[in-house]
Structure 1
Amino acid sequence: MWTSAPDTVDSQRPKILRVYNIYRVVLGFFLTLLTSSALRDGLIDLRNADLYESLSWIYLIVNVLIALLLHQGKKDIHLFVLAAVDIFLLSMLFYAAGGAASGLGNLLIIPVASGNILLHGRIGLLLAALASMALIYLTFFLSLSDPALNQNYLQVGVLGCIYFAVALFVQRLSRRLRHSESLAQQHAASLASLEKLNQVIIQRMRTGIMVLNNNHQVLLANEAAAQMLGKAVIRGMEVDRLAPELGQRLRQWQINPSIRGLPFRNHVGGVEIMASFKRLPEEDNESTLVFLDDNTVVAQQAQQLKLASLGRLTASIAHEIRNPLSAISHAAQLLAESPSFQDQDRRLTDIIQQHSRRMNRVIETVLELSRRRQSDPQLLDLTLWLAHFVRDYELANPSTDIIECEFEKEGILTRMDPNQLNQVLTNLCQNAFRYSGEPGSPRTIWLKLYEDRESGLPILEVIDHGPGIDDRNIPQVFEPFFTTESTGTGLGLYISRELCESNQARLEYRRLEPRGSCMRIVFAHPKRLV
């Protein structure tokens, strides 16, 4: 039964067969040289020179034709026939040269060994059997005409044993090589699979990863790094061209690795990035592994801790201030109801009542902030949500307040708590109307929704054309208790920014020219982790 050799052997068959063909052609060439009496004197004593000459030329011509026509042996039957023909022709040359004394019997070791490399199992042993039987038969045939050759049977028998020993040794060695090659291929496949898995994991990681060479050129970068930097990362790109701030922090780290760099933004509206570095020593040069982390998550955790501390503080303030404040307000009210109270003193009680109410609003606002629940981000279609918000806001407020909406396109998505977004936008709209004109007069503000061209993040702008915020007050506009109004609490924008940051969004202020203000919400990506 003819069977195919394993794939590991099949892959090497063309190379082995090519070497075997070259060997036979070279051997045929040297055998034909022995047809010259001048060249063979002292080397070999031919029994039948004419037969040897004919067979040597036949052997050379056949092997040249095989080398030219049979480049690849893909079937075992072809390889077996090739080895059998080689054994037959070499056996006939063995007979023409005079038998075992000529030494040509040793030439059959190569076709037996080659056949057992290309074939396996009992097929290879059959070649050894054919070679042994051919020599024994031809030696017997020679001994009939020359009884002195009977002593060659021992030598021929030893050659037969050598053929079988070579066949068994080569088969054993081939099996080991095939097994080793099979294990190597399995390990290579496992490593390739593991490498693909690692690449998928690296590409899916939320942490940005980059590898830079010693010239600060990008060798590798995952998808998260490109998203954070807001640019396509191309292999070979210099880091200063990709992110100048990152290049600056890399040079600072190389000078003093113990210094932790400050976070940075690579583009307007981008996330706040914290970079860390690690050297990767190699033989020729040193590469640098760069980790890019979204500092928004860290800031959000710090924000939660800050709010928790503020909550405990405000609870204490409520108990310590609210009751005395209520008593002061109640005493001023009773004092104003006294019949002997003078009109000029009544103005003083009104001031007490007014400031008591203001202090009470401050306490209630701070308590509301401390009791605020954790954010519950949901996937929102901002276009639809904003349309509903405008409708509800206009129904609940004076008809003189008008909101104009501008949408870049439909289906702009983000992930945010809808209740907290409603609280933020209500506060921003109230502030915008307050600075757009006096209550009761026609007032208009604009809401503009679009996606940033570089980062793809959704952006909502609340625009008014009032006097705007003074340049000196812009750095403090989001500070708690900062206000330019005598009746304000100074907590509205602070709470709005805190709510945005707890949803991984950002609230920014921009001055408009020649006048006006723009409160800008940069929302989180809809695919961000909740």
Structure 2
Amino acid sequence: MQSRTRQAATRITYDIAPVAFFSTDGNPWSQLQLYNIYRLVLAGALLLVALTEHLLPKGIIIESQLFNNVIATFTVVVILQNIAGYMKWPDYEKQIYLSSITDIVALLLIIYASGGVSFGLGILLVLPVIIPNLFRPGQFALFITALTVISLITIEMNIQSQGHAQLSELSMTGVLSLFMMISSWIAMNWSGNAQHTAHLAKRWGLDLASMSQLNQAVLDQLQTGVIVIRDSRHIQQMNTAAIEMLGNPEDWLDQPLGSFAPELDAWYQHWSEKQRPKVASFDVNHQGAMAVRARFVQLGVRASETSLIYLQDTQEEREKLQDLKLASLGQLTASIAHEIRNPLGAISHAAQLLTESDALSKADERLTEIIITNSIRTDSIINTVLNLSRRKHPKRVSIPLKSWLNHFYEDFLAQNKLQDD
């Protein structure tokens, strides 16, 4: 199994951008464009009222010139602000405040020109008042709300002083002002809670992504292959070891296991049909070449839950077994060599004693010399075997080749009883 040194480095930042609450794509400009569309519709409706002013009962519009001029100006400004919204200039926050302030000022002037809240346009102030508290909650948004309420009450009192409105309309103005204050407070609190929840969700999402990458990095460092299988026998996740064992398949995510490892899939199906014991192991020949040991583990308590497949290359086990056999053979060889050394020492000692005798002929002396030489050689072989069994590092030794060849030549002739021609 090849070693895997993949390193997963995850860099996470927690820069929380403004959250859009009414758009599915998370783009805050889309909600501003939606508000601008509403403003275009409102401007068109007010323009229609201005064009049909002569159909209204007399006395309702107390400042006809102001009424028409404000509506015309408001329509032009709304069109320009729609264009600015599509061009995204100036920035989002400035456009929110400019749009809201434009609507509030225009509606207050229209309410004044139409004789107060009795005309029914006062309710239109609610939306531009709560928009800043909804999209950009803060002290400035509350200041806009308070200033709008004060301006509305001042306008109504001014109309009352001119005798164009009844006293009961002042109470209607108070109720409308209270409604705008409560709506702004609710919008501000809801927006703050929604932003906090969105920030937490985004941070949790980043944490989950980081944890997923960390888990994948840990899995990739394992020598054991890991495959996550859904109940439909489709691959949900694999680590690097499993990918290498399956032949480095491409586009394996959400693909059936049988398309990459039919033998493994057959054993998995066999295990599934056996009512899925919690853990089971099988020896599988993958594509007739690689022998792997597959261990199936059920996750959860039901048979339809996700399963894990652990793959282990049996080649590594065979290599370990071979090493164990070689180690045992080395110990046996060392034991045999040690047992041979004792009689060999006796033979060598006896040959040395024979060389000290005066009754030996030259032929016997030669035979005795051969015994001693081969005893020394055998002892050297035994030392070599013992050193190998002790796993000592070999050492290089220089030998005089000419003299060694001469000795070998003489020993060869003596052992085979040949004559030197």
TM-score (structure 2 length as normaliser): 0.64
Q: CA deviation at 1:180?
A: 1.5
Q: How does 1:65-464 map to 2 (within 5 A)?
A: 65-71=80-86, 72=88, 74-146=91-163, 149-207=166-224, 222=240, 233-236=249-252, 248-249=263-264, 251-252=266-267, 254-255=269-270, 257-261=280-284, 274-276=292-294, 278=296, 289=309, 291-293=311-313, 295-296=315-316, 298=317, 301-302=320-321, 305-306=324-325, 309-310=328-329, 313-314=332-333, 316-327=335-346, 363-373=382-392
Identity of aligned residues (%): 29
Residues 181-234 of structure 1: per-residue CA shift (max 9 Å, x gap): 222222222233333444444445555556789788897553x567778x7653
The DSSP-based 3-state class of the residue aligned with 2:294 is strand
Amino acid aligned to 1:326 = G
Alignment RMSD (CA, Å): 5.4
Q: Would the alpha carbon gap of residues 28 and 216 (structure 1) be closer, same or farther in structure 2, given more than 3 Å must change? A: closer
Q: What is the rounded CA distance, in whole Å, between the counterparts of 2:19 and 2:197 in structure 1?
A: 12
1:7 and 2:24 correspond = no
Any conservation in 2 of the 1:49–1:97 contact (CA below 8 Å)?
A: yes
Q: What is the rounded CA distance, in whole Å, between the counterparts of 2:228 and 2:173 in structure 1?
A: 68
1:464 maps to none
Q: What is the rounded CA distance, in whole Å, between the counterparts of 1:365 and 1:264 in structure 2?
A: 44
Residues 230-255 of structure 1: per-residue CA shift (max 9 Å, x gap): x7653359999999xx6545544543
Amino acid aligned to 1:113 = I
1:22 and 2:47 correspond = no
Q: What is the rounded CA distance, in whole Å, between the counterparts of 2:385 and 2:266 in structure 1?
A: 44
2:413 maps to none
Q: Would the alpha carbon gap of residues 274 and 350 (structure 1) be closer, same or farther in structure 2, given more than 3 Å must change? A: farther
Q: CA deviation at 1:128?
A: 0.7
Any conservation in 2 of the 1:209–1:289 contact (CA below 8 Å)?
A: yes
Amino acid aligned to 1:367 = L
Amino acid aligned to 2:41 = V
Larger strand proportion of the pair = 1
Q: CA deviation at 1:112?
A: 0.7
Any conservation in 2 of the 1:210–1:289 contact (CA below 8 Å)?
A: yes
Residues 266-309 of structure 1: per-residue CA shift (max 9 Å, x gap): 6xxxxx87453557889x9978756455844x456545654554
Q: What is the rounded CA distance, in whole Å, between the counterparts of 1:242 and 1:365 in structure 2?
A: 54
Q: Would the alpha carbon gap of residues 162 and 217 (structure 1) be closer, same or farther in structure 2, given more than 3 Å must change? A: closer
Q: CA deviation at 1:363?
A: 4.4
1:446 maps to none
The DSSP-based 3-state class of the residue aligned with 2:146 is helix
Any conservation in 2 of the 1:274–1:292 contact (CA below 8 Å)?
A: yes
Q: Would the alpha carbon gap of residues 208 and 286 (structure 1) be closer, same or farther in structure 2, given more than 3 Å must change? A: closer
Q: Would the alpha carbon gap of residues 167 and 98 (structure 1) be closer, same or farther in structure 2, given more than 3 Å must change? A: same
1:63 maps to 78
Q: Would the alpha carbon gap of residues 118 and 262 (structure 1) be closer, same or farther in structure 2, given more than 3 Å must change? A: closer
Bigger drift between 161-170 and 106-115 goes to 161-170
Q: What is the rounded CA distance, in whole Å, between the counterparts of 2:168 and 2:155 in structure 1?
A: 14
Q: Would the alpha carbon gap of residues 264 and 301 (structure 1) be closer, same or farther in structure 2, given more than 3 Å must change? A: farther
Q: Would the alpha carbon gap of residues 397 and 40 (structure 1) be closer, same or farther in structure 2, given more than 3 Å must change? A: farther
Q: Would the alpha carbon gap of residues 225 and 374 (structure 1) be closer, same or farther in structure 2, given more than 3 Å must change? A: farther
The DSSP-based 3-state class of the residue aligned with 2:391 is coil
Residues 107-150 of structure 1: per-residue CA shift (max 9 Å, x gap): 11100111222323111012212321221122122112327523
Any conservation in 2 of the 1:211–1:289 contact (CA below 8 Å)?
A: yes
The DSSP-based 3-state class of the residue aligned with 1:276 is strand
Larger helix proportion of the pair = 2
Any conservation in 2 of the 1:209–1:292 contact (CA below 8 Å)?
A: no
Amino acid aligned to 2:174 = G
Q: What is the rounded CA distance, in whole Å, between the counterparts of 1:348 and 1:396 in structure 2?
A: 25
Q: What is the rounded CA distance, in whole Å, between the counterparts of 1:39 and 1:281 in structure 2?
A: 78
The DSSP-based 3-state class of the residue aligned with 2:29 is helix
Q: Would the alpha carbon gap of residues 332 and 226 (structure 1) be closer, same or farther in structure 2, given more than 3 Å must change? A: farther
Unaligned runs of 5+ in 2: 1-15, 21-25, 272-279, 403-407, 410-415, 417-421
Q: Would the alpha carbon gap of residues 93 and 330 (structure 1) be closer, same or farther in structure 2, given more than 3 Å must change? A: same
Q: Would the alpha carbon gap of residues 132 and 328 (structure 1) be closer, same or farther in structure 2, given more than 3 Å must change? A: same
Q: Would the alpha carbon gap of residues 31 and 292 (structure 1) be closer, same or farther in structure 2, given more than 3 Å must change? A: farther
The DSSP-based 3-state class of the residue aligned with 1:234 is coil
Amino acid aligned to 1:255 = H
Q: What is the rounded CA distance, in whole Å, between the counterparts of 1:242 and 1:355 in structure 2?
A: 66
Bigger drift between 326-335 and 155-164 goes to 326-335
TM-score (structure 1 length as normaliser): 0.53
Amino acid aligned to 2:294 = S
**Greater RCO between the two (CA within 8 Å, min separation 6)?**
2
